[in-house]
Structure 1
Amino acid sequence: MKTMCASDTNSSNFIGVICGLKSEAQAVAAGVDKSKIRIGVSGANAARAEDIARDFCNEGASAIFSIGFSGGLDPALRPGDLVIGETIIADDGSVYAGDRYLLGCLNPALSRESGNPGRSAKMDPRLRGDERGKVEARLAALFGADEIVDSTLKKSALFQNHGAVAVDMESHGAARAAARAGAPFLAIRAIADPADRALPPAALNAVAPDGSVRALATVGAALRDPKQLWALRELGQDSAAAAKTLRRSLGPLFSRLFLSLDL
């Protein structure tokens, strides 16, 4: 069975993937058959993510995915842990459900520890895309923020008030466009900064509109306040762990999707 966007009048032959950062897009491209996907980079902007997802649907995408890094809200999640969004809770209160068919397609590729949103799943790094093709992931709610969630207090409030385990700035925009087009949607996010770690001020303007990182400006801002240098180093290590998880995990997951969607 092939699932298609409602606006598709011809054959749909690709999965549309929206990433916030170029580095996230590179991780996706490294792990997935690039001939069967199209990747758009939104620059950590929900409105841009929505535009890209809408364009993909108009071009006949079989499904829309939001893939990239995420800030941890649940203290049980650590850098490199993988989360698949059963629901996306937007800043305006809207709630978008992850497509049940797509979740069903991925289920055979998930390890036995995956899939219980009512508990903090035990994360075994050996199962993040190992030779057996099994992936360790948490199925749970994600929060889509329009502004950067930079403090541990903000993260704690989102976790307590909404029950979301992770936050990003693109998924709700992509989900909104997919819902309007009648397209299947799912978010796959790897944890970068965990719940107990605040983002250093120097990193708050690090992402350019094209999804690149303003590395020189970010380091320059940190040098004016050297105590931020260690925090930036930790953030870089966390992001590297998240990218590694995406590269390892997306191959087994998308192999299942390509078969199920006849791609």
Structure 2
Amino acid sequence: MDPERQPLPGVVSASRMEARTLECAGRRFRPLVNLPTRICGIGSERAARAAQELLAQGCGALVSWGFAGALVPRLRRGDLLVPARVVDADGSGIEVDVHWHRRMQQALAPAPTLCTQTLLQASAAVLTAEAKAALFASSRAAAVDMESATLGAVANAAGVPFLAVRAIVDIHSDSLPVWVAHALDDSGRLAARVVLTGLLRRPGDLSKLLRLARGVAAARASLARAARLAGPRLLAGHDASAPS
């Protein structure tokens, strides 16, 4: 199949920060900048709406692109996760497209750390190391986000390929400030007023916030590098008939 004639995949990211890492692919892979993209905000319902919009637009595959939190010690800030399987909080799982997944693994092989273990979608923000440990014990997943299983389910129902590419922000032992969930707007950005109020009430949270900032910076850099490494494979990798 000619990659230029097949339908483009649609990309769903929770925040503009995550989606903009696709723009770092450089001039050589300029088509990545033009991929149909939806910034959905955090959570399952928003992700489902974004996915349906992309399918209605004519997209022939779906990509979950963005950040995740680690549930296992081996994953560090900035590590890449391209899971072979995504699971929902109720345990239902979706397998990603095997051909696309293999091509992305090949493309991202130069990445220092690439994990292909299961990704869990949580129904609420996971803010403490204890909560992460509990999720790992119940799911055995390597990392957690809040959108990918929904996107996989929509893709599966529509009969189109699905892939997830996520970069780790917070490691398994990190506990985030309890007010962070309230500081995030619908697009995943931190509201400055809530951050300032939280730090005034709990000055000790500054170190946690700085760790979070370092994790975000590392994850952004990894996603940008993934966009550069993947290049055309992100466009054509879901063509199962293409040669390996």
What is the TM-score normalised by the length of structure 2? Answer: 0.88
Of the structure 1 ranges 87-96 and 21-30, higher mean CA displacement relative to structure 2 is found in 21-30
Letter in 2 for 1:80: G
Counterpart residue number, 1:132: none
Residues 84 and 188 in structure 1, CA contact (< 8 A), matched pair in contact too: yes
Counterpart residue number, 1:150: 127
Aligned Cα RMSD in Å?
2.0
Counterpart residue number, 1:49: 47
Q: Distance in 2 between matches of 1:2 and 1:169?
A: 34
Q: What is the DSSP-based 3-state SS (H/G/I as helix, E as strand, rest coil) of the residue aligned with 2:196?
A: helix
The match for 2:197 among 202, 205, 220 is 220
CA deviation string 1:48-82 (max 9, x = no partner): 11111111112211210101110000111100000
Q: What is the DSSP-based 3-state SS (H/G/I as helix, E as strand, rest coil) of the residue aligned with 2:36?
A: strand
Instruction: Give the drift of 1:258.
Output: 2.6
Counterpart residue number, 1:76: 74
CA deviation string 1:75-112 (max 9, x = no partner): 1110000010111110122101111121122233242x
Of the structure 1 ranges 65-74 and 33-42, higher mean CA displacement relative to structure 2 is found in 33-42
Instruction: Give the drift of 1:193.
Output: 0.5
Q: Distance in 2 between matches of 1:110 and 1:30?
A: 15
Letter in 2 for 1:43: G
1:256 aligns with 2:233: yes
Q: Alignment identity in percent?
A: 31
Counterpart residue number, 2:15: 21
The match for 2:58 among 57, 60, 79 is 60
Residues 32 and 231 in structure 2, CA contact (< 8 A), matched pair in contact too: no
What is the TM-score normalised by the length of structure 1? Answer: 0.82
CA deviation string 1:177-200 (max 9, x = no partner): 111111110111100010000111
Q: Distance in 2 between matches of 1:82 and 1:202?
A: 27
| Uncovered stretches (5+) of structure 2, i.e. residues with no partner | 240-244
Q: Distance in 2 between matches of 1:236 and 1:252?
A: 24
Distance 1:236 1:46, change over 3 A: same
Q: Distance in 2 between matches of 1:220 and 1:26?
A: 28
Counterpart residue number, 1:104: 102
| Uncovered stretches (5+) of structure 1, i.e. residues with no partner | 4-10, 112-126, 129-134
Distance 1:260 1:91, change over 3 A: closer
Counterpart residue number, 1:176: 153
Q: What is the DSSP-based 3-state SS (H/G/I as helix, E as strand, rest coil) of the residue aligned with 1:103?
A: helix
Letter in 2 for 1:48: R
Q: Distance in 2 between matches of 1:199 and 1:12?
A: 42
Instruction: Give the drift of 1:259.
Output: 4.1
Q: Distance in 2 between matches of 1:72 and 1:57?
A: 30
Instruction: Give the drift of 1:260.
Output: 4.0
Q: What is the DSSP-based 3-state SS (H/G/I as helix, E as strand, rest coil) of the residue aligned with 2:203?
A: coil
Residues 100 and 163 in structure 2, CA contact (< 8 A), matched pair in contact too: yes
Instruction: Give the drift of 1:30.
Output: 2.4
Q: Distance in 2 between matches of 1:206 and 1:14?
A: 34
Q: Distance in 1 between matches of 2:91 and 2:238?
A: 31
Q: Distance in 2 between matches of 1:191 and 1:54?
A: 26
Residues 82 and 105 in structure 2, CA contact (< 8 A), matched pair in contact too: no
Letter in 2 for 1:194: I
Q: What is the DSSP-based 3-state SS (H/G/I as helix, E as strand, rest coil) of the residue aligned with 1:140?
A: coil
Q: What is the DSSP-based 3-state SS (H/G/I as helix, E as strand, rest coil) of the residue aligned with 2:183?
A: coil
